[in-house]
Amino acid sequence: MGLAESERLVRPLDRMSDQSAIDVIPDAVESSPIEPAFGSLMSGVAVTFATRLLILGCVVTSSVIVARWLGPEGTGALAVLNVTVALALQIGSAGIPSATTYFVAKDRVALGPVWTNGIVFSLAAGSIIAIGVIAVANLRPNIFNGISGHLIAIVAISIPFVVLDLD
């Protein structure tokens, strides 16, 4: 194709106005307004804000109840156990939630395999970390400052499920 032929094809497209492209759209499409799927943005923000306030109220209330019930020493033990789970969560997730989002956004067909791999990895990694926490608690109990090995085992059992919750 020579230069003259390609110009003959491109020039009419250059002269086409935006309005002539819009006129091609059928009337049915123009007359149907697009409704938001879940209400307006403002109502979504209001619901999210109200939910966050409710969660904050529940956390403050439960913290006061737990602190009164357990006392200072028990509250410290609970803090150690919570930190143990939080550290296990950081180690055990290994970036899987971000990778899942990336691969599913890249290719929607990959949702099934990515989801399955995420679940298998989360349960396997969480179980290995839970076994590691129990082993450390049994081998070096002074790391947990005298907290019962039974309490540590109970918390460790939750680790695979907390890691799974991220996916």
For residue range 108-143, what is the model confidence (pLDDT) as tens digits? 888 888 889 888 998 999 999 999 999 999 999 888
Residue 62 and residue 161: Cα distance in Å, rounded?
Answer: 22
Residues forming a β-bridge with 37: 39
At position 96, the amino acid (one-letter code) is I
Burial class (CB in 10 A: 0-12, 13-18, 19+), 2: exposed
User: Quick one: DSSP state of residue 110?
Assistant: G
User: Quick one: DSSP state of residue 3?
Assistant: H
Q: Where are the domains of the chain?
A: 10-166
The first and second tokens of residue 99, run together, are: 């990778």
Q: What is the pLDDT of residue 54?
A: 92
Exposure string (b/e) for 46-64, b if CB count within 10 Å is 16 or more?
A: eeeeeeeeeeeeeeeeeee
Helix (H) and strand (E) counts for the chain?
Answer: 7, 0
Burial class (CB in 10 A: 0-12, 13-18, 19+), 104: middle
Give 103's contacts (C-beta < 8 A, 6+ positions apart): 110, 114
Query: For the chain, what is the mean pLDDT?
Result: 79
Instruction: Provide, for the chain, the percentages of residues in helix, strand and coil under a 3-state DSSP scheme, each rounded to the nearest 5.
Output: 85, 0, 15
User: Quick one: DSSP state of residue 34?
Assistant: P
For residue range 78-118, what is the model confidence (pLDDT) as tens digits? 888 889 989 988 888 888 888 888 888 888 888 888 889 88
Residue 115 and residue 108: Cα distance in Å, rounded?
Answer: 11
Q: What is the pTM of this model?
A: 0.60
Percentage of the chain lying above the pLDDT 70 cut: 77
Residue 103 and residue 166: Cα distance in Å, rounded?
Answer: 16
